[in-house]
Each structure stands twice: as structure tokens, then as C-alpha cells.
Amino acid sequence: MTGRRTFIKQGSLLTTAGIVGSMLPLSAISQSKQAGTKPQPQQSKWLDGSRLVISVSMQFEAGGQPENAESPFPQNMQKGYKDLPAETWYQYGYKEGIPRMLDNWDKLGVKITSHMVGSAVLKNPSLAKEIVDRGHEAAAHGMNWATQYTMPYNEEKKFIKDGVDAIRKITGFDAIGYNANWLRRGENTLKILQELGFLYHIDDLSRDEPFIQTVNDKDFVTVPYTLRCNDILLIEGKNFSVDQFVNQVKMEFDQMYEESEKRRRQMSISFHDRIGGTPQMVQAAKELFTYMKKHQGVSFKRKDEIARMALEDKTTIRE
Amino acid sequence: MTGRRTFIKQGSLLTTAGIVGSMLPLSAISQSKQAGTKPQPQQSKWLDGSRLVISVSMQFEAGGQPENAESPFPQNMQKGYKDLPAETWYQYGYKEGIPRMLDNWDKLGVKITSHMVGSAVLKNPSLAKEIVDRGHEAAAHGMNWATQYTMPYNEEKKFIKDGVDAIRKITGFDAIGYNANWLRRGENTLKILQELGFLYHIDDLSRDEPFIQTVNDKDFVTVPYTLRCNDILLIEGKNFSVDQFVNQVKMEFDQMYEESEKRRRQMSISFHDRIGGTPQMVQAAKELFTYMKKHQGVSFKRKDEIARMALEDKTTIRE
Amino acid sequence: MTGRRTFIKQGSLLTTAGIVGSMLPLSAISQSKQAGTKPQPQQSKWLDGSRLVISVSMQFEAGGQPENAESPFPQNMQKGYKDLPAETWYQYGYKEGIPRMLDNWDKLGVKITSHMVGSAVLKNPSLAKEIVDRGHEAAAHGMNWATQYTMPYNEEKKFIKDGVDAIRKITGFDAIGYNANWLRRGENTLKILQELGFLYHIDDLSRDEPFIQTVNDKDFVTVPYTLRCNDILLIEGKNFSVDQFVNQVKMEFDQMYEESEKRRRQMSISFHDRIGGTPQMVQAAKELFTYMKKHQGVSFKRKDEIARMALEDKTTIRE
Amino acid sequence: MTGRRTFIKQGSLLTTAGIVGSMLPLSAISQSKQAGTKPQPQQSKWLDGSRLVISVSMQFEAGGQPENAESPFPQNMQKGYKDLPAETWYQYGYKEGIPRMLDNWDKLGVKITSHMVGSAVLKNPSLAKEIVDRGHEAAAHGMNWATQYTMPYNEEKKFIKDGVDAIRKITGFDAIGYNANWLRRGENTLKILQELGFLYHIDDLSRDEPFIQTVNDKDFVTVPYTLRCNDILLIEGKNFSVDQFVNQVKMEFDQMYEESEKRRRQMSISFHDRIGGTPQMVQAAKELFTYMKKHQGVSFKRKDEIARMALEDKTTIRE
């Protein structure tokens, strides 16, 4: 049995150094003093003492997309021709988007999870390696953009494994987390992931905190994902302007921060290379993360950290 | 004949305790004094003395949806497969959405009307019961998500009755109000509702105050509903960001509050489990309701209260 | 020849009383003094001395719509059934929308042009009459919502004439202005309008000031219309929130006001019964018009006033 | 070899007069002093000393559009009829839009690149000439709105050449830059452009700075374009309100200005005659450009200037 004490001793991943924030509003400080006077049981807080955990995704997909993949250009290409400007929209993802975001994460002191498509990794190996070298997590995101939920068992297993192998070969990172294209896993996906040694997946929106399922008689973690604070859904799907993205995510944070006083809460945000990596969106991220960091107890964590902490924690929700 | 005096004596439902707001702007107070000096007839005000009545809906639908029901995911699933992430989007409604909203209504001191789909109630009985136990109204919303306006008379009557029975069995509440899927009642719906003992329905947008129709030779109330302050239409249908929702509903309130000085006015707002129950939307509701509560004479009422008050009031509009 | 002097003597329509605004910013006042010291030729200003003319449209259409007309509800009704809630959305136009707007125009002291569909006038005659009785212009908008541009000459002529006759019969007003459904006139429309004694139409977006064409060897005025400040296009078509409507129209005004210092400029805004008549939109109109009225020389005019002034003015653009 | 010194001597295009901005925030000034004390190598800055280059596009297309071209009106015209109001929407582009923008560029002291469709130039020759006479660049944009990427080699070459010839004949300007309809060039386009003597094209979104490719064994420049700050995509495609356009472009600028301290950065903005030329959008442009001009080192350049500077600069990215 591993109790909290033991876990903190292991602790390489879970130092309090990851917890940011000192500019607490006065009202909050006085509450905090009260709490100090009379400590209360906080059964559902995070194991490492974080108040609110923020989980950031950075999709590394561009370069691996199929020919004439969907883009902001009118979807009316005549058959037999290449959508050349759309290709340059994707190229932006690795030429400008990822590098810009990497610089921003460094400035902010935030480590993120990068969901890497295998074919994109092979197309831009040095960039994939740099993501890992800068301390971010590499998670698997399929070998390419194929529809996964229709694949027979063996085909799907090879599809997932090829992606993991590509990431390992190029970056040296053993991916333990998975994200299916458009979150659309099939009925076999979790079993396959468990067989391949994955610890968690993110293709689930049902909760605002991680939970554990039993898959193949072993624990498997869901680190829940988001559509509400997701650049591709909001900017390309719902046609938000960048200031709307900021406003909406800020309101999400405010509520989550408030709830996290009494419950374990995890907030998820996601950025895709060619969308979240534009100057306007990086400006948005800077504004948002600067705002969040001003709140005491906010902790930005990679999803592998979250999954391991959830597995360790006896109070994690089980379904 | 029941006059106003008699009605107020009965009064269990209609105490002035439900009327909130004391932070009136100075200009309004001085107007109020003038009015005090020379009282004027106010024929169309509410029977219980409310200035403006706010009617809040909370849809309890998730868990009862059909397979591969519409969601924010691309509607392009191949035949024969389940849209697994979309299912988790719905699960969020009962795992996080309703519980979060219930806490918020408690903090705000607001009682709402919950439109409950029968199959959703059976799927999550304890949650349905908790809604009622916390003092909210359970109204009927069909046995499931089937299209109601195409049903023959007997089929529709059974469909409605099954939903009411499920609610009664689980929560102990006798629903007297009805809401059809997408408001789309058929030609027989009101007659059936009258036969089944309902007092009101909400599937009408024609007025900003309740009105009475004669159905089967008896009075039947319409407590009008809204698309303008409706989370599913604005957030999922029109792709509003949460701050747009706040801005638009605030402007609706400002005009309604102004008009309510001289006329009976009812404002309607609605929240669906998986949409209105997100952190960002609950933050929005908190901001909106806090703003509304600062205005004197604003009263948050369940729709059964509104319907009963309308039936009692001889000045209610008749159509 | 009718010069300016003569015209002002006729003047019942064109008094300076219609010109509002006294809360001019200091910077503007000092400019105004300078201009006073050394008067400059202002060839393109309005004949009555207005600096900027605002032309407001209020569509009176609800009640005349065809069965299952387009509405904010999902457009997926099964054949053979009535879209009952959509009908109540239209009813809102005459039960709440127009009355609310009429009160608002009175408070603001603004006279507008109401584009009246003949069948809507016949459906709600007393409301149509009240619009005219309160000093607004009745303009023709077809006998019903039929597609006009496909009609043969005689059918179209009868269609237009029936609408005018309905308006005259109910309101006593002789319509001299025309607006086709979705602005879609046909090749014969202007000729027919000239034959029927109309002075102007609005189905043209090409300019920000009125202009004259020769139709059947006589002058015919275009009082240009707008999509940019049009409630149906912005609120229902583009899914704007009401605050976006305010922001966009304000920016339109700011530029037009600036330009109107040196050129004749007309700004157009439009409100449909069931859209512009909601509480939130009337709040928006109140905010916008209050803002506009603070600027010196801003004049709100009915389109018949604008058309007559354009005909009288020798400097009006001719095409 | 042409070094920086030589280049500046040639210098008619690249004077520092084009660099604007003196209202630097205090914090920035103190940084600037520090930098002055200890100069650092700045390998990727612009040859003429600009900190950030802004590249503005003004499309001149209206009048050259095909019959019943796409517009904000419902796209449901019956066959065999003209969409007359849509035509007036396009006419607005040359009657009001371009003239208004020209006045605005003059007031702001900004020179832009006008992408001219040949048939539009022939339709409104004096306006096309005025654009060039006021100091703006004329770039080619095809002979008409035809789909270019499906044309065989010779047809495409004639199509491009006809457009250039029309511009030269009317305006006297030799176009050296190209923009394909919806950026959709074909596989032969760059080769043809090189053969016809063009120096650059803009149909590429992959970078935030110009770069050089080898085409037909000679250098050819890409001056990258934008969808993120593009009026037709944001206003007509994504249904942004004008204030959203302002907010989004401002955030783009803020990030680009920050990055430009250490890297060569080019920001692109685009305005189409009938969209960017409305009063509300010109007000938006005025607000944006006034904001940008307050930042030291911001330089507004025509794309021919940018292309020539990129060709001259040995540090320009080569692909």
C-alpha cells in the first residue's frame, strides 16, 4: 500500500515547485487565514497539495495530414487538384506555430503534453525532438489522421503501435498517453492501449477530474479533455475571435478555481499547431496563463503526471 | 370568486420572501418616492407584488438521449458505430452539470423548474430526486427524446403520461407543467395535457407574460419560454461565447426591468444539463443572477408558482 | 425651378425640429466656431441643413408569413405538420415587438418608415393603423411574402398594388416607397413602381446617400438600404449577440458622422417586428440612438422625407 | 555582392521616412536605452532598420465579378434571374468602398498594395488609375474571377498576362506581384509568373516573414498573406462583428511587435473593396492603424518594397 507519505518521498514528478501563484487577492488571503486557524478535512484535493491542476495539450499534427485536408479555405476543390494554399496553412503549424508556442511555454514556465501524430513526427523529426528536449510530454495520437473507430482489432493495434514507435525512435520518449483523432476511439481502443502499456487516454469529456476504469483487469486512467477550451473547436469550428477565446476560458477558470477550494478539479485547455500557434492565439495564451498564475495553488501539469498521481491516489474516482 | 385579498391569504406559495434586491440606484429610489406620494393604478402588475418575475428552466435530459444524438462533434459518424466521445459529452450533464447548477441555485437562493425527460430520470434516479428535494419544481418533458408532433393521439397521450409517471415514481412530484422536445407540440398536445391534469405548458414564445387559453372548456396557462436567453440555442446553435451570453441576457433584463415598472413582465432563462452546467456557464449564471438580484422587486419563481398566480389573477391575458 | 428657399417654405416635412443633439464634445464645438468664422462651400450637404441623416426601417411582416416560414427553430419539420412554436415566434412580432418599438420611438422622438406586408396589415389592422397614427411612414412591402422577381409583369403589378391598397384601406396612408422581399426586385419592378405613383424604392446597397435614376422618363429615387446595420441579417443570419449589434452600428455611425462634415451622408438601420422588437434589441436601439442623438446635426428622417428632399435637391447624384 | 550599405544608397524605396511611431511606452524606452548601451547582433531584422513591417492589401475586384456571384444575400436564386440587390452590394465596392479607403490611407500616411482584377480595372479605369496615382502599388489578381488552378498552362499564362496588361494600360503600373483567386494557384503558376517577370506572389500562409524559392533557376519571393487578419474571411466567412475584427488584429499585432524585437517579422492585413470599404470597417482600420503607429519601429510597406528588400537581403530565408 502506498500512502500519501510514501508517494511524496518518491516525488520526482510531484514537487511543489510546479505550483505557482503568489498574488492572491486580499479577500482570499483572509479566508486562507481562517482556514489555517481551523484546518478542515479536504478529502478530494490533489495528492501533491495543488489546489487546481491545469492540463495543457499541444497537438503536433501538421505535416501528417492527408491531401486536401480540411482547412479554412472553401471546401469546394475540384477533383484531381491539390489545395496548395491549404497546404501552406498546415505548414505554418511546424514552421511558426510549434516554435512560437514552445518559446511561450518556456517564458511561462509551463510544461505541456504534446499529442504527436506519427507521420507528423517523421516529417519534422528535429522539431518533435525539441518538444521533448524542452521538458514536455510526448503522447501518442495515432500513426496518421485515419479514422480509427472503424478499424478491426489488429489493424487498430498496429496503427497505435506504429505511432508510439515513431515517437520513441525520434524523441526517445515512451508515450503512455493516447488521444484518438477527434476523440473517436472504437470499442477495442482502451483494451489495446492497456495491452500496449499505456497508462491513460484523454478521449472523454464526462468529468472535471481524472478517474480510473478497470480495463483488462487493470487500472486505466482517463485524464479528461475539453471542447469548451479547445482552439480547434472554438476558433475553427465555432468561429470565435481570439478575444472570445480569452473571455470564455477565463470564466471557466474562475469557476474551477472557486470549486477547487473544496474539491479536486482539473481544467483542460488545448492548442493545435496551426491554430493555437498563431501570434494572436499565443498572445491569448499569454494573457490567460498570466492571469491564472496569479492565483495561489494553481499547478500546470503534464498529463502523465496527472495520470500517475491519479493512480497513486486512493481517493481517485473509480467507474 | 377569488379576489386578490383571498388569494394572498392562501398564500403559501406567494410570500414576498421570494422578492430580492435592495441595492436600488438613487435615481430609482427618488422615482419610487414620487410614486409613494401619489399612488397610481397598476393594473398589470403581479398579484404578489413582484415587479419583475424571472422564470428559470433547467433541462434534465442527458442519459435519456438516443444513440449518436447530436453533439458538438462533427456529425459525420459512419453507420454502425457508436459516437463514444459524444456519449461522454452527455454524461457530463449528470456527472458534473446538474450537481454544479444545484449548488449554484442554492448559493443564489433561487428555485427553478427542471424539465425532466422520463428516461433520464430512470437512468439517474437519485439525482432527479435531489433536484426535487432541494425545492425545485419537476416538470414533464416527454418519456424520451422522440418526435412528439407526429404521434397519433393515443400514442402521444401514453408518451406524456409515461414521463409524468416516471417523475412521480422517482421524485414523488406530480408534474403540472409540460415542455415538448424543441417546443414542438402537435395539434392534440394541449388537449391531452388538460386531460392529464396539467395546468400549464411552456412551448410558446408569443408573449413576455403568462396568458390563459381555454382548452377542453377549462383554463390552461401558457408560461412563455425563450430562445433569446436559452443556452442550447445561443451556445450550441448560434456559437456564442459565454461572455456573449452574459451580455445579451443582461440587456434583456435591463429592458424588462424598465418595462416592469408599468406592466406585468416575465423574463425566461434556460439551462441544459450538459451546456448550462459547465463551469464557464455557471460562472455566467452567477454573474447574471447577482446582477439581477441587485434590482428591487425582482422575483425568481418556479413555473408552477407563475401558472397558479396567473390562474388566480383576474387580469391575466386571455386568448 | 424650385430652389432651396422655395423648398424650405413648403417645408411641412422638413423643419429643423427634426435635428437633434446638443451635447457636442468640446473639440467639435471649437471646430464649429472656426467654421463659423470662415464659412466654406458645402456642396454636398443636405438641403435642410442636417449634417447626417439617419433612416430607420421597421418591418411589419409577422402574421403575413407563409406556413412553416423560416425561424430560429431547426428547419427539419416533417411534411404535413405545422411548426407550432415557430408560429408563436412570429406572433411575438405583433403582440410584443411592434408595440415595444413604437413606445421606444416615441421616447426617443424618432419617426421611422414601416415596411408593411399587405397580408400582415389585414391580419392586425389596428396595429398597422397605430403605426401611422403615431406619425410614422407606411411603405409598401408586397401583398405577402411571395417571391417577386419571378413574377410576370401583370402579376407583379397586381401584387404590388394589392399591398398598397391594403395599407391605404387600413391606415389611410398612401405609400410612396417600396421594399421587395429580401430586396429581390425583378427587371420590371422599378417601371411598375413608377407607373403606380411611387417616388422611391430602397432595394439597393450601392451608396451611402440617396440618388436619382430615370425610370419611364421620370425621376425615381433610391433611398439606399443596409445589410450592415440590419437586425435580420446580423442577429438571425450572422448569429450576432445583441452587444455585437450595438458595437458594429456604433462604429458605422462614428465613421458616417465624421464623413458627414464634408459630404452628404445617409445611414440606414433596420428592425424587424419579431427580431428588433425583443427586449434586448430595444435596449440596444435605445443605447444606440441615445448615443447618436448626442452628436450635433444628426437628423432622424422618414424615407419619404429623404426621397422628397432628394428630388428637390439639384445636387442629388443622378445615375 | 550588394551589402547593406550599397542597398541603402540605392534607397529610393527604403527610406526611414516610412517608419512611424514615437509614442513609446516608458517601459519600452528604458529597454531601448539598455539596448543602446550594449548593442547586440540582430541577424534577422529588416534591412532598412524597420522593427516590424506591416503589409496591407486592398482588393479591387468589384465590377469584375461573374453574374450572381456570392454575396451576403441568401444563395437561393432561381435559375434564369439576376440577383439585382447582390449586384448593388458589389457596386458599393467602387462607388463608396475604394474611395473611402483611399482617403483613409492618405490620412494615415500608409501605402498599400492593391490586388486588381483585370476586368474590374477595365470597368472602372479612373478609379484604378487613382489608386496608383496616390502612390499605392498595383499587383495582379487575374483577368477575372475564373478558377485558375484548373487551367492548362497556356490558358493560365494568357489569363495572368491579360490581367497585367489591363493594369498597365489603364494605370501605367507594371505589376510585379500576384494573388490568385482564393489564393488557389495551380502547379504551373509560379513558373508562369517567373516567365512573365513577376518578382513575388502572396498565395502562401506558411510563414510570418518573406522567403525565397528558386523557380526556373531564379529567385522568386513569397510575401506571405493572411487569413487571420483578412476581412473577407473574418467578416463574411466567420461572421465577425467589426469590433471582433479590431480585437483580433490588435492581439496579432501585440504578439508580432513583441517578437519583432528579436526576429524579422511581417504582419499582413487585407481589405476587399465591398467589405473593408464600409464605414464601420474603415473606422476599424483607423482604430487599428492608429494603435499600431504608436509603436516605435513599425513600418507600413507595399509588397513590392518588401519583395525587393527580401531579394536584396542575404539573410532572407530560402526554401
**Does C228 score more than 60 pLDDT?**
yes
Which residues of chain B have a Cβ shorter than 8 Å from any chain C Cβ?
Answer: 147, 149-150, 182-187, 203-208, 227-228, 233-234, 237-240, 244-245, 247-249, 251-252, 254-256, 259, 267
pLDDT for D43 equals 54
Question: Taking the CA atoms of chain B, what radius of gyration do you get in angstroms?
Answer: 20
Which candidate from C184, C227, C240 shows the least CB-CB separation from D72?
C227
Using alpha carbons only, what angle is made at residue D83 by residues D81 and D89, rounded to the nearest 5 degrees?
165
Q: Give CA torsion, residues B174, B180, B185, B190, to 10 deg.
A: 10
Helix (H) or strand (E) holding C280: helix C279-293
| pLDDT digits 0-9 by tens, A74-120 | 999 999 999 999 999 999 999 999 999 999 999 999 999 999 999 99
pLDDT attached to residue A10: 34
Q: pLDDT higher for B6 or B305?
A: B305
Buried b (16+ CB within 10 A) or exposed e, C153-173: eeebbebbbbbbebbeebbeb
Chain A neighbors of D204, CB-CB under 8 A? 85, 88
Q: Are B95 and A206 inside 8 Å of each other by CB?
A: yes
Answer whether residue C307 shows pLDDT above 80: yes
pLDDT tens-digit readout, C22-57: 333 333 333 333 333 444 445 558 999 999 999 999
Q: How far is CA D182 from CA A69, B107, D133, D140, in A?
A: 16, 53, 27, 13
What digits encode the pLDDT tens for the residues D115-155? 999 999 999 999 999 999 999 999 999 999 999 999 999 99
What's the pLDDT at D24?
Answer: 32
- What pLDDT digit, counting tens, does each position of A113-140 carry? 999 999 999 999 999 999 999 999 999 9
Percent of chain C with pLDDT over 70: 86
Q: Which of A28-32, A218-222, D191-195 has the lowest mean pLDDT?
A: A28-32
pLDDT band at B45 (very low <50, low <70, confident <90, very high): confident
pLDDT band at B43 (very low <50, low <70, confident <90, very high): low
Interface of chain A toward chain B, CB-CB under 8 angstroms? 147, 149-150, 182-187, 203-208, 227-228, 233-234, 237-240, 244-245, 247-249, 251-252, 254-256, 259, 267
Does residue D95 have a pLDDT over 70?
yes
Contacts of C242 in chain B (CB under 8 A): 247-248, 251-252
C281 has pLDDT over 60: yes
pLDDT at A40: 47
Query: What pLDDT sits at residue C44?
Result: 55
Model confidence at B37, in pLDDT bands (50, 70, 90)?
very low
Question: By the 8 A CB rule, do D222 and D210 touch?
Answer: yes
Task: Give the three-state DSSP class for A137.
Answer: strand
Q: Is the pLDDT of residue A13 over 50?
A: no
β-partners of residue D272 are D59
Angle D166-D171-D177 from CA coordinates, rounded to 5°: 70
Over the stretch D34-58, which tens digit does the pLDDT of each residue have? Answer: 333 444 445 558 999 999 999 999 9
Place D15 in a pLDDT band, splitting at 50, 70 and 90. very low
pLDDT (average), residues A19-24: 34
pLDDT band of C6, cuts 50, 70, 90 = very low
* pLDDT tens column, D19-40: 333 333 333 333 333 333 444 4
* pTM of the shown model: 0.89
Rounded to an integer, the average pLDDT of B99-127 is 98
DSSP D31-97: HHHHHHHS----TTS-TT--SEEEEEEEEE-TTSSPTT---SS-S-PPTT---HHHHHHHHHIIIII
In order of their start, the domains of chain C are 57-68+81-227+295-318 (3.20.20.370)
Instruction: Determine the average pLDDT of the residues in C263-284.
Output: 98
If phi > 0 it is left, if psi is from -120 to 50 it is alpha, else beta; for residue C109 that is: left
Average pLDDT, chain C: 89
Share of chain A above pLDDT 90, in %: 86
pLDDT of residue A44: 55
Give chain A's radius of gyration (CA, Å).
Answer: 20
Q: Is the pLDDT of residue C21 over 60?
A: no
Q: In chain A, pLDDT over 70 holds for what percent of residues?
A: 86
Angular region, A240: left φ>0, alpha ψ -120 to 50, beta rest? beta
b/e burial code for range A257-270 (CB count within 10 A of at least 16 → b):
bebbbeebbbbbbb
Q: Do B205 and C92 touch (CB under 8 A)?
A: yes
Instruction: Show residues of chain A in contact with D247, CB under 8 Å.
Output: 241-243
Cα angle B127, B131, B134; round to 5: 130
- Is the pLDDT at D298 greater than 70? The verdict is yes
Interface probe with C: pick from B255, B256, B258, B291, most Cβ of C within 10 Å:
B255
Residues of D in contact with A282 (CB under 8 A): 255
Return mean pLDDT, chain A: 89
Contact C241 B228 (CB under 8 A): no
Cβ-proximal residues to D128 (8 Å cutoff; 6+ apart), any chain: D60, D116, D120, D121, D138, D167, D170, D171
The pLDDT > 90 percentage for chain D reads: 86
DSSP state of B195: H
Q: Between A and D, how many CB-CB pairs are < 8 A? A: 88
Burial tier of A33 (Cβ tally within 10 Å: 0-12, 13-18, 19+): exposed
Q: B279-293: buried (b, 16+ CB within 10 Å) or exposed (e) per residue?
A: bbbbbbbbbbbeebb
pLDDT for position A106: 98
Containing H/E element for A116? Answer: strand A113-116
Q: Do B149 and C85 touch (CB under 8 A)?
A: no
Q: Which of D91, D95, D243 sits opposite C248 (nearest CB)?
A: D243
Where does residue C258 fall: left (phi above 0), alpha (psi -120 to 50 degrees), or beta otherwise?
alpha
| Beta carbons of A101 and A271 less than 8 angstroms apart | yes
Chain C nearest-CA distance from D21, in A, is 24
What is the pLDDT confidence band of residue A183, given thresholds at 50, 70 and 90? very high
Q: Tell me what pLDDT residue A77 has.
A: 95
CA distance D89 to D97: 10
The 10 Å Cβ neighbour count of residue D70 is 13
Please report the pLDDT score of residue A51 as a whole number. 96
| First-to-last C-alpha distance (Å) of chain B | 21
- D84/C227 CB distance under 8 A: no
Query: Mean pLDDT over residues C272-286, rounded?
Result: 98
Q: How far is B246 from chain C (nearest CA, A)?
A: 10
Give C-chain residues touching B208 at CB under 8 angstroms.
96, 279
Tell me the nearest-neighbour CA distance from B131 into chain A, angstroms. 20
- Using the beta-carbon criterion (under 8 Å), do A248 and B91 form an inter-chain contact? no
Query: Which of C67, C78, C88 to probe by mutation at the B interface, max B CB count within 10 Å?
Result: C88
Q: Residue A25: what pLDDT?
A: 35
Q: Is C92 exposed, middle or buried (0-12, 13-18, 19+ CB in 10 A)?
A: buried
Length of chain C: 319
Which pLDDT belongs to residue D32?
Answer: 35
CB count within 10 Å of CB A311 equals 16
Give chain C positions within 8 Å (CB) of D96.
Answer: 206-208
Name residues whose C-beta falls within 8 Å of residue B251's C-beta, 6 or more positions apart in sequence: C242, C243, C279, C280, C283, C284
| Band of residue D287 on the pLDDT scale cut at 50, 70, 90 | very high
Binding-site residues on chain D for chain C (CB distance < 8 A): 72-74, 77-78, 81-85, 88-89, 91-92, 95-96, 100, 239, 241-244, 278-280, 282-284, 286
Minimum-distance CB partner of A248 among B83, B96, B280: B280
Q: Which three cell numbers stand for residue D34?
A: 539598455
d(CA D200, CA B29): 68
Rounded to an integer, the average pLDDT of B138-153 is 97
Q: Is A243 close to D251, i.e. CB distance below 8 A? A: yes
Q: Are B115 and B56 in contact (CB under 8 A)?
A: no
Q: What is the pLDDT of residue D249?
A: 98
